[in-house]
Amino acid sequence: MSEIKRVEPRTLSGFMELLPQEQIKFNEMKRIIEETYELYGFLPQETPIIEASEVLLAKAGGETEKQIYSFTKGDTDLSLRFDLTVPLAKYVAKNYGQLTFPYRRYQIGKVFRGERPQKGRYRELYQCDIDIIGNGKLSIANDAQMPSIIYSIFKKFGFGKFIIRMNNRKILNGLFEEIGLKDQAKEALVIIDKLDKIGMDNVKEELREIGVTQENVTKLEEFFNINKFGNNDEILSALKGLGFKSETFAQGLEEIEELITYVRLFGVEEEYFRIDLTIARGLDYYTGTVYETNIIGYENIGSICSGGRYDNLAEYYTKQNLPGVGISIGLTRLFYVLNELDLIKIEKTSISKAVIVTMGVDFGEGVKVSNALRDNGIKNEIYAEDAKTKNKFSYVDSLNIPYCIVIGQDEVDKGQYTLKNMATGEQELLSIDEIVAKLK
């Protein structure tokens, strides 16, 4: 075997691969997301990573298509999924007759994007999505669940203050109707979406460039100044006070008012959400409520959870009318960013609660204790190697495992075991039942 030609064991750039301590924290964050989605009664969904290119690219175009991993196997064109929304649309269209509506599902899985590698950008990344799909119609009460879910998850993450910013595309479209800018609405929206990044002066400049009159630019500025008002109720009053006649505007206003009412009912604290009239979400398909979420003090990293309402999810696959609302958390990037900022406040650092170490007695004595702990649901392991005492303890230490249970001849004779707290060094002689009670 000495003639083996060895290959450098590398991982591709743009692909996350963590050491155990970090992986434990990553998984804990994933677990919190999944648990919260299920607390709200969402059903699990899992679609393949590989799909027929024709199916996956039914709608795609432009940037997305360029980033897709595509290849041929046999005579089939295959692609790796680049988001979880297209597979959802396919799934709902395909299984329409067998699903119960509203169909409420979550999917947590990897998606693939051949982006240019750069710090904090991943080519293989986790998305954690929930969507509620209605059959023909879907009440606005569903939109109010999203901020409640975002709030629950990020409170559990414990990274500090954040703000869920909400708007309604109908308010913006209504505004454009009102001031006779309907035909330029799409272009104008894309510009306004950048307000956060480039500031009002540049937005005005860009609006003028696409031919918006000075009068309308002024009207738009006045409208977006409402955004600076102190609280949600003040913003709602000001919007009502505008006296716009646009039907679309009125509908958007009614929806966002209902949304705010329900978000409060769902128990989201007032300081964690606000109407933000500048949120447009560049993507075409949103038609009503839109969401973005920022960490206070770290707005520069962008939105950490976004989404919105769309009128018709699966129009490229079926003639059924399927409106929906959903959000997505990009966990891989979020983990990277929080880790860089030292904002990961997950306490969990080990899997095992205790390592059992036998000293000069039969290994079987350790197995008995291990079995008893496991029967009580306590995660543990036995150190099974022949090693110096020092090395056994350093194993426990380096894995950040909180307790060590030492079993020597003394312990076997007494039927009691030494429980060592690795952080304090404190030792106690306890029965198995006492150890179980303590570690549970």
| Interface residue with its own copies, options 123, 165, 274, 309 (CB under 8 A) | 123
For its own copies, the binding residues in 182-211 under the rule CB under 8 A are none
Residues 55-74 that bind its own copies (CB under 8 A): 55, 58, 69-71, 73-74
Using rule CB under 8 A, residue 89 touches its own copies:
yes
Rounded to whole angstroms, how far apart are CA atoms 218 and 236?
21
Of 151 and 291, the one with the shorter C-beta distance to its own copies is: 151
DSSP string, 391-416: HHHHHHHHTT-SEEEEE-HHHHHHT-
Site for its own copies in 6-25 (CB under 8 A): 6-12, 15-20, 23-24
Instruction: Let me know: does 132 contact 325? Beta carbons within 8 Å.
Output: yes
Could you count the other beta carbons within 10 Å of the beta carbon of residue 114? 15
Residues from 94 through 113 that contact its own copies (CB under 8 A): 94-95, 98-100, 102, 104-105, 110, 112
141 binds its own copies (CB under 8 A): yes
238 forms part of the interface with its own copies (CB under 8 A): no
Using CB under 8 A, which of 32, 124, 249, 280 touches its own copies?
Answer: 124
**CB 41 to its own copies: min, Å:** 3
Min dist CB 255 to its own copies, Å, is: 14
Count H helices and E strands in the chain, helices first. Answer: 16, 16
C-alpha torsion sign, points 233, 238, 241, 247:
negative
The closest of 238, 267, 240, 265 to 252, measured between CA atoms, is 240
Compare residues 110 and 194 and give the one whose CB is closer to its own copies.
110
Using DSSP, state whether 294 is helix, strand or coil.
Answer: strand
Q: Least distance in Å: CB of 95 to its own copies?
A: 6
Residue linked to tokens 């929806």: 255
Residue 79 CB, shortest distance to its own copies, in Å, is: 10
Considering only residues 353 through 372, tell me which ones interact with its own copies, judged by CB under 8 A.
355, 363-364, 367-368, 371
Give the residue among 31, 42, 41, 47 at the shortest CA–CA distance from 131.
42
Of 217-225, 234-242, 307-315, 336-344, the segment contacting its own copies by CB under 8 A is 307-315
Among 190, 198, 200, 265, binds its own copies (CB under 8 A): 265
Q: Closer to its own copies at the Cβ: 384 or 437?
A: 384
Question: Whole-number minimum distance, CB 6 to its own copies, in Å?
Answer: 6
Least gap, CB of 422 to its own copies (angstroms): 14
- Tell which residue, 76, 171, 67, 72, has the closest CA to residue 123: 67
Can you tell me the distance from the alpha carbon of 202 to that of 264, in angstroms, rounded to the nearest whole number?
35
> Does the protein bind its own copies through residue 50 (CB under 8 A)?
yes
Amino acid, single-letter form, for residue 401: I
| Stretch of residues binding its own copies (CB under 8 A), selected from 84-92, 172-180, 206-214, 271-279 | 84-92
Structure token pair of residue 82: 């680049």
Q: How far is the CB of 381 from its own copies (least distance, A)?
A: 3
- Quick one: CA torsion of 174, 175, 180, 182, rounded to 10 degrees? -60
Residue 348 sits in the site that holds its own copies (CB under 8 A): no
Restricting to residues 267-286, name those near its own copies by CB under 8 A.
267
- In the sheet with 380-382, reading across from the earlier edge strand, the strands are 380-382, 354-358, 403-407, 417-421, 427-430
| Residue 351 in contact with its own copies, rule: CB under 8 A | yes
